[in-house]
Structure 1
Amino acid sequence: MTLALALVLLLAVAAPPAGAADYTGPLIDAHSHVPNATAINAYAAAATRHNVSKVLLLGVGGVQKDDAAWIAAAQAKYPDLVIAGAPVANPAATERVESNIDQLKARAMGEVHVRQISRKIDHDPSDAEFQKLLEVAARRRLPVVIHDELDTRATERLARALSAQPTATVILAHAGESAPPRIEALLDRHPNLVVDLSGMHFQRKPSLASEHGPLDADWKALIEKKPDRFVFGIDVWAARLFEPTMLDRLMKWARRVLGELKPDVAEMVAYRNAATLFGVK
């Protein structure tokens, strides 16, 4: 094989499918955060440029003590854009969580850090403490977003938690930083599990796609097999991600990747599933 032919083949593999058009329909960012009281302004401007109709703002698992105040301020300033998520700094503090729900008129709870290796967090969501939080989620009919980096043990614990509270809807952030076979097995067994594809952009790994490359074939196959079980999120959180140029890159990437799905699937993942989960239009 000549070098020229090898380069042509490499470019063909790395390029999106020929003829794939960007998704142009309605889009709900089902997972993002704000790092301060003013970052929402840059996000709102970018949302206008890229036709992002709604964003679910979540807490950052107790990392930021002012999450609730920042989310409330963002919602007050941009009521047509912001969907409030009730921060969960401590899963055991259910009274505080319920207070946040009431004050924010929240449509979801989280993000709850269940297992995050970088912060040395490793909780069991099937234990009594976390089950109380899931009881709140079930009673309030609000989905709870969890950050749970799945390995074999973590997957078994999550499965027990889902089975113990079948009327509580759990949204697994970042697809559990896992792979399609593990996620498919969980989805097959647990109808109360939804997977969010947030934070799987070109800035992080594992990603759905590089900035300009095609959507991962295995993820595409699973999403199109179970289109009602996925939502899409951009997951901005650090101040650097709110630079206008970066927001443009991330939102353009999101629409390009969604455009590689079948049109009806793209609309479900980009909008309809989230609208149903969060009770918005």
Structure 2
Amino acid sequence: MTRLTALLLLLIAIPLAAARPTIDAHLHHVNFLHDSDGLETLLDAMDAADIEAAVVLGLPVTKKWEEDAPREPRYYMGDEAPVYYYSAADPLLIAALDALPAAQQRRLYPFMSGFNPTDLNAVEHVRRMIEAYPNRWQGIGEILTRHDDLTALTDGETARANHPALIAVYRLAAQHDLPVLLHSNLTSKRERSFIYLSELEEALAAAPDTRFIWAHAGTSAEIHRHQGALPKLGETVEQLLKRYPNLYVDLSWTVLEPYLLDQEGRPDPDWVALVSRWPQRFVIGSDVVGRFGNLGNIMHSFEPFLAALPSAVADRVARKNVQALLPGQAAMPLDD
């Protein structure tokens, strides 16, 4: 049993209604087979956990079920079959939202994801989706680049943060005031040095008017499984925040352990200090994929860390920073 699993089991006994109000900044309404519990079930889970709203993402890829597979895969790592880019992700997300009452739709912030990030025509797909569903999109992503086993299983050219196809997408996003949620691991499962950091920096520098939300601060569960905590992650995050005012950091679940909380579930003082120094630049999210039964427990697991922050900073990280990143929103002052 991992320390995070133990923490989640402990938190099951805590009434979710007592949780701090939050906004989930990273939630996939489907899994890698594009199945889902459904948005009505999601909203029920949000109500039970005092989650006010959520950034809702599709998935830009889907898993292939091959003819010789012994069973239908349940996850992208379920067998050796590839995943491929799935452009239906975006209209399916809008259709699911359209089936909800208007008041419930306003609690869900849809991001566009269904394009191939190595296709130089990807920007045209994004443009067409913006035109087809005007004033609907609240952002773009999660764009998947440098994602260890998922990258290895994805058909075609390797996606990277600084690919020319994506630079065009980032710049179009800025024109429409759309934030971009970008997954770009700092390294591979075997390398301790940050071999992909330059790709991220080139992307940030090439699109200075684009607001980037960096998924998981460049980490992944597979990296941790193979080599534990990345050395100097906090220092690297701070250096990037200093250099790039267009960078924001998503602290979704792979950052919770082993960074935000120590082995006993106590807040790490270095990360508390880091987030406190940059109160407008961090958000939290569950990163659930299509199943919502554990949503409240995951979001509530951030509470020990949030409680260690100054109250105004905790409220920003828990919910206000997400809203400030959405189209048409100005960054809110800390003392609002």
> What is residue 80 of structure 1 aligned with on the other side?
106
Following superposition, the deviation at residue 96 of structure 1 comes to 1.6
For this pair of structures, how many residues does the alignment match?
255
SS at match of 1:228: coil
2:251 counterpart letter in structure 1:
L
Quote the Cα distance in structure 1 between the aligned partners of 2:90 and 2:307: 34
Following superposition, the deviation at residue 54 of structure 1 comes to 0.7
Distance change (3 Å), C-alpha of 1:256 and 1:71: farther
Quote the Cα distance in structure 2 between the aligned partners of 1:172 and 1:211: 25
Following superposition, the deviation at residue 212 of structure 1 comes to 7.3
Following superposition, the deviation at residue 279 of structure 1 comes to 4.2
Match of 2:319 among 246, 257, 271: 271
Q: After alignment, is 246-255 or 84-93 more displaced?
A: 246-255
Following superposition, the deviation at residue 87 of structure 1 comes to 1.4
Following superposition, the deviation at residue 70 of structure 1 comes to 4.0
> What is residue 173 of structure 1 aligned with on the other side?
215
> What is residue 4 of structure 1 aligned with on the other side?
none
Q: After alignment, is 220-229 or 69-78 more displaced?
A: 69-78
Indicate whether 1:101 and 2:122 are aligned.
no
Indicate whether 1:148 and 2:184 are aligned.
yes
1:41-190 alignment, distance < 5 Å: 41-63=40-62, 65=86, 66-76=88-98, 77=100, 78-91=104-117, 92=119, 93-102=122-131, 103=133, 105-120=136-151, 122-151=158-187, 152-177=194-219, 179-190=233-244
2:141 counterpart letter in structure 1:
G
1:127 counterpart letter in structure 2:
H
Q: What per-residue deviation string (whole Å, max 9, x for no partner) do you get for residues 28-70 of structure 1?
A: 1111101235432332112111221110011323237343244
Q: After alignment, is 143-152 or 255-264 more displaced?
A: 255-264
Say whether the 8 Å CA contact 2:213–2:248 is kept in structure 1.
yes
Quote the Cα distance in structure 2 between the aligned partners of 1:280 and 1:31: 20
Quote the Cα distance in structure 1 between the aligned partners of 2:241 and 2:113: 25
TM-score (norm 2): 0.68
SS at match of 1:153: coil
2:261 counterpart letter in structure 1:
A
Structure 1: give runs of 5+ residues left out of the alignment: 1-21
Match of 2:28 among 10, 24, 33: 33
2:277 counterpart letter in structure 1:
K
Match of 1:198 among 229, 248, 252: 252
Following superposition, the deviation at residue 141 of structure 1 comes to 1.2
SS at match of 2:44: helix
Say whether the 8 Å CA contact 1:75–1:81 is kept in structure 2.
no
Following superposition, the deviation at residue 86 of structure 1 comes to 0.9
Distance change (3 Å), C-alpha of 1:115 and 1:280: same
Quote the Cα distance in structure 1 between the aligned partners of 2:274 and 2:213: 17
Q: After alignment, is 30-39 or 248-257 more displaced?
A: 248-257
Following superposition, the deviation at residue 238 of structure 1 comes to 4.9
Following superposition, the deviation at residue 112 of structure 1 comes to 0.4
2:280 counterpart letter in structure 1:
D
Quote the Cα distance in structure 1 between the aligned partners of 2:138 and 2:299: 23
2:44 counterpart letter in structure 1:
A
Q: After alignment, is 115-124 or 77-86 more displaced?
A: 115-124
SS at match of 2:41: helix
1:106 counterpart letter in structure 2:
W
> What is residue 231 of structure 1 aligned with on the other side?
283
> What is residue 3 of structure 1 aligned with on the other side?
none
Q: After alignment, is 84-93 or 212-221 more displaced?
A: 212-221
SS at match of 2:140: strand
Structure 2: give runs of 5+ residues left out of the alignment: 1-16, 64-85, 153-157, 188-193, 220-229, 330-336
